[in-house]
Structure 1
Amino acid sequence: MNLKDQFPIHVDFIVVLIIIFAVVVVGWRLWYEPARDKIAINAYKIAMNSMRSMVESCDVSGGKILSGKPGNPICQPNTAGTYLDVMRRCNPEPPNYAVIKIKNGGWILTTQNGNNEPWSCRGCSISCSQDKCETRGNCY
């Protein structure tokens, strides 16, 4: 058997390897990445709802609601717990939690980046009032 007889077999083998690699890459992009994003966004939604409840308990008890980073107290005096640090799956930069008082006596809890611009979890951003949390963007 000479080299010319073996050449088509090698080409077929290389083509099969390329096809297998392409299938793996496409499968990764179509299945794993969206699933990972949904998990991160759901964790963000759960965390924001929990913090909404903590901010509300601070407000109802007459405490001073504080803004801050993950780990900082939510309330003065510290009766409502601390801001949660579960957002690493969303965005490598941890958010700043900002509580904005509004004229009717309520408040709005949002997440911001270090430049006081909206912070999002894979394109989803959430703001919460004393009544509910609302999503904007690609929140599935």
Structure 2
Amino acid sequence: MNRSRRVALQSTGAFATLVSLGLITQSQAQAAVSAAGFEAKNLADALKAIGGTPATSDQVTVVAPDIAENGAVVPVGAVSKLPNTTDIMIVVEKNPSPLAAAFTIPAGTNADVQTRIKMGQSSNVIAVVKADGKLYSATKETKVTLGGCGG
């Protein structure tokens, strides 16, 4: 296990322990993205909630399939090569709730996240990265053959 991953796992474990012991509340434990970001119903509102419109960067990469056979379980991820990356958000342009995931990146760790999300239809998957207080993004189109958000 590399050092960056070990530090991230230790930080996450310690944080979870503090929440479970009641030393901090769940609301204090939430990522930098407010609940308003996850409650947004369109792309513009989701981007506004996470800090505004990001600039496109070749240092940010979206990891997503070209074609997802089942929209209920689509593996996606994002990689940032930008220094001082603090947050990574996954946004799906045409989803009923566009902000699908948000990650806080501990200092000194690799900015590389992977998760599974639901996609209701073919759409652009956008990775939004916060580095040095600025927002950057990359986009990749993913086609869905069987919708996962009620489709």
Tell me the TM-score normalized by structure 2: 0.28
Higher share in helix: 1
Q: Which has the higher contact order (CA 8 A, sep 6+)?
A: 2
Q: Report the TM-score when normalising by structure 1.
A: 0.29
